[in-house]
Amino acid sequence: MIDKLRQTDIVFVFCDGTSKHLHSSDVTEELIAECLGIMGHWVDLLESAIRTECPTWEMLQAFQCLSLSEKGKEVEKADAEGIRCVEELDDAIAQSKQN
């Protein structure tokens, strides 16, 4: 998607009728880093809300693909091993650190 933004000028038209023209030259490394940082905060907020409201909801595992940390790798490994929810993963990690 980032490559597509760098190749093509895009016009965003908003509900209120205003528009924004994004030139391919506007897509800088600084802008990409800023947007990814903001997106990361939204993902963290979503993960926190899901953990709070639905602590056993397995959908949380689907967000591992958005993780830029080791936690995503741990969840992916847990999926491969058949652990059904992230809380079990957290408990298994805590127990292995105690042993």
pLDDT in tens, 58-96: 665 666 666 666 666 676 676 666 655 555 556 666 676
Long-range contacts formed by 85-94: CB under 8 A, 24+ apart: 85/56, 85/57, 85/58, 85/60, 85/61, 86/51, 86/60, 86/61, 87/55, 87/56
Question: If residue 42 lies in a helix (H) or strand (E), which one and from where to where?
Answer: helix 29-53
Rg (CA), the chain: 19
Burial of 78 (0-12, 13-18, 19+ CB in 10 A): buried
pTM score: 0.41
